[in-house]
Amino acid sequence: MTDLKMAQSDQKQQMHHINHTDLEDFVRQILIANGTSSQNATIVSKCLVSADLRGVDTHGSNRIPSYMERIRQKCLDPSATPSLRQITPVVAQVDGHNGWGFVAAHKAMSRAIEMAQEFGMGMVSVKHSNHFGMSAWLVKQALDAGMMSLVFTNSSPALPAWGGKEKLMGVSPIACGAPSGNDSRSFILDMAPSVAARGKIYKALRRGEKIPVDWALDGEGKSTDDPAKALQGVMLPMGGPKGSALSIMMDVFSGVFSGAAFAGHVTNPYDPSKPADVGHFLVAIKPDLFMTMDEFKGRMDYLYKRVTESEKADGVEQIYFPGEIEQIMEERRLEEGIPLAEAEVAGLNKEADLVQVEHLKIQPA
Ligand SMILES: NC(=O)c1ccc[n+]([C@@H]2O[C@H](COP(=O)([O-])OP(=O)(O)OC[C@H]3O[C@@H](n4cnc5c(N)ncnc54)[C@H](O)[C@@H]3O)[C@@H](O)[C@H]2O)c1
Q: What spacing in Å lies between the alpha carbon of 175 and ligand 1's midpoint?
A: 9
Are 49 and 127 found together in one domain? no
Q: Is 237 in the pocket of ligand 1 (CB under 6 A)?
A: no
Q: Taking a C-beta distance cutoff of 8 angstroms, is the pair 45, 133 a contact?
A: no
If one compares 157 and 9, the residue with the highest pLDDT of the two is 157
8 has pLDDT over 70: no
Pairing status of strand 338-341 against strand 15-18: antiparallel
355 has pLDDT over 60: yes
Burial class (CB in 10 A: 0-12, 13-18, 19+), 37: middle
197 has pLDDT over 50: yes
Could you report the per-residue pLDDT of 97-144, keeping only the tens digit for each?
999 999 999 999 999 999 999 999 999 999 999 999 999 999 999 999
Q: Is 137 in the pocket of ligand 1 (CB under 6 A)?
A: no
Q: Is 94 in the pocket of ligand 1 (CB under 6 A)?
A: no
d(CA 302, CA 309): 10
362: CATH:
1.10.1530.10
The H-or-E segment that residue 86 falls in is strand 83-88
Are 166 and 22 found together in one domain? no
Nearest C-alpha neighbor of 355 from the set 104, 41, 103: 41
Nearest atom in ligand 1 to the alpha carbon of residue 155 is 3
For the CA atoms of 52, 57, 58, 61, what is the dihedral angle to 10 degrees?
A: 50
Are 347 and 314 found together in one domain? no
Q: What spacing in Å lies between the alpha carbon of 191 and ligand 1's midpoint?
A: 4
Are 84 and 66 found together in one domain? no
Are 151 and 254 found together in one domain? yes
Considering its fold, how many domains does the chain have in total? 2
Report yes or no on 91 lying in a domain: yes
For 130-260, strand residue ranges (E) read 148-153, 157-159, 169-170, 174-178, 187-191, 216-217, 234-235
In the chain, the percentage of residues whose pLDDT exceeds 70 is: 97
Report yes or no on 244 lying in a domain: yes
Ligand 1 test: best mutation among 4, 5, 59, 63, most atoms within 8 Å of CB? Answer: 59
Report yes or no on 206 lying in a domain: no
Q: What spacing in Å lies between the alpha carbon of 192 and ligand 1's midpoint?
A: 6
Position 12 scores a pLDDT of 62
Q: Concatenated DSSP letters for 91-115?
A: EEEEE-TTS-HHHHHHHHHHHHHHH
If one compares 199 and 103, the residue with the highest pLDDT of the two is 103
Q: What spacing in Å lies between the alpha carbon of 163 and ligand 1's midpoint?
A: 24
Are 55 and 183 found together in one domain? no
Could you report the per-residue pLDDT of 41-74, keeping only the tens digit for each?
999 999 999 999 999 999 999 999 999 999 999 9
Report yes or no on 100 lying in a domain: yes
Q: Is 2 in the pocket of ligand 1 (CB under 6 A)?
A: yes
Q: Compute the radius of gyration of the chain from its Cα atoms.
A: 20
Q: What spacing in Å lies between the alpha carbon of 196 and ligand 1's midpoint?
A: 8
pTM over 0.85, yes/no: yes
149: CATH:
3.30.1370.60
First-last CA distance in the chain? 24
Position 1 scores a pLDDT of 43
Q: Is 330 in the pocket of ligand 1 (CB under 6 A)?
A: no
> What residue type is assigned to position 163 of the chain?
G
For the CA atoms of 265, 266, 268, 273, what is the dihedral angle to 10 degrees?
A: 70
Are 51 and 174 found together in one domain? no
Report yes or no on 219 lying in a domain: no
3 has pLDDT over 70: no
Containing domain of residue 105, as a range? 80-194+237-324
Average pLDDT over residues 165-180: 95
